[in-house]
């Protein structure tokens, strides 16, 4: 360092401090940026289930049949207006014990009508309470018809088994020819009330929230099927390995959905 620099350096340092302290006095502190997650979200699709009567056929399909599907569940799915209908802005999926002793219910999907990849899903729903009901708000990959399960992937945003004071979130996928699953339960306070079930889905990560509180997260990667379009399935099954023993006094019970909203 030569002798001029030796004297000039403290001078410039002092000058810089002066300049910066002046500028910080003149400009108020910068406001923190809002969270990008909420900043760029806009509504991609929703069904508010407004009004009364049949559900919107532009969005929904009825899946029919049953009586021993997948998990030995006993319900038969119908498109009957007793089992699936809108009432005062609420979707109702109602499981009924019929006079002949069989159980009818409904299962609706948005397959080939509404599907998407990534985003935020909010579903406000109230669950059935009677033992033996197995309600679910869930999604399958839209290549389900061609590759089958579990290759298509499954995201269960809300599923309730025999414990009516808790709900589960689960992902299923194929792992080298085996079914892989990762699920977690969370306590459901006030089970007789409406709650909001939220999916936060992005590349590399899937989270599930109950009433805005996150209780589930899974890290995903390219070997898993979660970077493709998925569609919705809403249903109430009865009995079987997941619904458990049906209450002997069962007459009917209902899952109610106020809305489903998808933001991206
Ligand atoms: Ca509604």
CATH code of the domain in which 247 resides: 2.60.120.200
Looking at residue 71, its pLDDT comes to 81
The CA 146 to ligand 1 mean position distance, Å, reads: 33
The CA 261 to ligand 1 mean position distance, Å, reads: 10
For residues 21 and 23, give the distance between their C-alpha atoms in angstroms, rounded to a whole number: 6
Looking at residue 66, its pLDDT comes to 85
The average pLDDT across 163-176 equals 97
Average pLDDT, the chain: 89
Looking at residue 31, its pLDDT comes to 62
pLDDT band at residue 29 using 50, 70 and 90 as cut-offs:
low
The pTM for the full model equals 0.85
- pLDDT higher than threshold 50 for residue 25: no
In a domain, 13, yes or no: no
**How is residue 53 annotated by DSSP?**
B
The CA 125 to ligand 1 mean position distance, Å, reads: 10
Based on the residue annotation, tell me whether 159 is a catalytic residue of this protein. Answer: yes
Selected catalytic residue, list 39, 154, 202, 256: 154
In a domain, 33, yes or no: no
Quote the number of domains for the chain.
Answer: 1
Which region among 13-22, 76-85, 205-214 has the lowest average model confidence (pLDDT)? 13-22
The average pLDDT across 158-165 equals 98
Domain that holds residue 127: 42-263
- pLDDT higher than threshold 80 for residue 195: yes
For residues 102 and 67, give the distance between their C-alpha atoms in angstroms, rounded to a whole number: 9
Q: Judging by DSSP bridges, how do beta strands 61-63 and 76-77 pair with one another?
A: unpaired
pLDDT tens, position by position, 94-144 = 999 999 999 999 999 999 999 999 999 999 999 999 999 999 999 999 999
The CA 151 to ligand 1 mean position distance, Å, reads: 33
Selected catalytic residue, list 39, 87, 98, 159: 159
Which residue in 55, 102, 78, 40 sits closest to 238, CA to CA? Answer: 102
Which region among 14-18, 126-130, 132-136, 194-198 has the lowest average model confidence (pLDDT)? 14-18
What are the Cα distances from residue 8, in Å, to 2, 3, 14, 21, 246? 10, 9, 10, 20, 88
- pLDDT higher than threshold 90 for residue 52: yes
Looking at residue 7, its pLDDT comes to 43
Whether 227 and 117 have beta carbons less than 8 Å apart is answered as yes
In a domain, 147, yes or no: yes
Bond preceding residue 150 cis, omega within 30 of 0: yes
The CA 31 to ligand 1 mean position distance, Å, reads: 36
The CA 256 to ligand 1 mean position distance, Å, reads: 10
Based on the residue annotation, tell me whether 35 is a catalytic residue of this protein. Answer: no
Looking at residue 18, its pLDDT comes to 40
The CA 79 to ligand 1 mean position distance, Å, reads: 20
Position with higher pLDDT, 10 vs 171: 171
pLDDT band at residue 69 using 50, 70 and 90 as cut-offs:
confident
pLDDT band at residue 256 using 50, 70 and 90 as cut-offs:
very high
Looking at residue 27, its pLDDT comes to 55
Q: Judging by DSSP bridges, how do beta strands 230-238 and 107-109 pair with one another?
A: antiparallel
What are the Cα distances from residue 43, in Å, to 120, 233, 262? 9, 20, 6
Helices and strands (DSSP H and E) totals, the chain: 4, 19
In a domain, 87, yes or no: yes
Which residue in 141, 161, 146 sits closest to 225, CA to CA? Answer: 141
In a domain, 77, yes or no: yes
The CA 77 to ligand 1 mean position distance, Å, reads: 23
In a domain, 6, yes or no: no
In a domain, 220, yes or no: yes
Looking at residue 34, its pLDDT comes to 52
Whether 167 and 188 have beta carbons less than 8 Å apart is answered as yes
In a domain, 27, yes or no: no
Looking at residue 23, its pLDDT comes to 41
């Amino acid at each position: 360092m030569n002798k001029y620099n030796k004297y000039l350096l403290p001078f410039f340092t002092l000058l810089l401090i002066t300049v910066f302290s002046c500028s910080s006095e003149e400009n108020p502190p910068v406001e923190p940026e809002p969270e990008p997650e909420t900043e760029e979200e806009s509504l991609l699709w929703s069904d508010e289930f407004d009004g009364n009567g049949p559900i919107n056929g532009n969005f929904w399909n009825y899946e029919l049949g049953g009586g021993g599907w997948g998990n030995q569940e006993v319900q038969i799915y119908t498109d009957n207006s007793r089992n699936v209908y809108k009432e005062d802005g609420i979707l109702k999926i109602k499981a009924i014990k019929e006079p002949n002793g069989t159980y009818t219910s409904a299962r609706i999907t948005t397959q080939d009508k509404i599907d998407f990849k990534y985003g935020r899903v909010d579903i406000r729903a109230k669950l059935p309470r009677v033992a033996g009901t197995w309600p679910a708000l869930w999604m399958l990959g839209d290549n389900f018809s061609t590759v089958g399960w579990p290759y298509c992937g499954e995201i269960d945003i809300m599923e309730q088994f025999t414990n009516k004071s808790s709900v589960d979130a689960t992902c299923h996928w194929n792992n080298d020819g085996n079914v892989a699953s990762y699920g977690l339960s969370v306590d459901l306070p006030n089970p007789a009330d409406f709650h909001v079930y939220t999916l936060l889905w992005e590349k590399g990560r899937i989270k599930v929230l109950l009433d805005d509180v996150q209780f589930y997260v899974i890290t995903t990667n390219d070997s898993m099927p979660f970077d493709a379009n998925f569609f919705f399935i809403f249903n109430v099954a009865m009995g079987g390995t997941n619904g458990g023993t049906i209450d002997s006094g069962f007459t009917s019970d209902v899952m109610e959905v106020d809305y489903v909203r998808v933001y991206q």
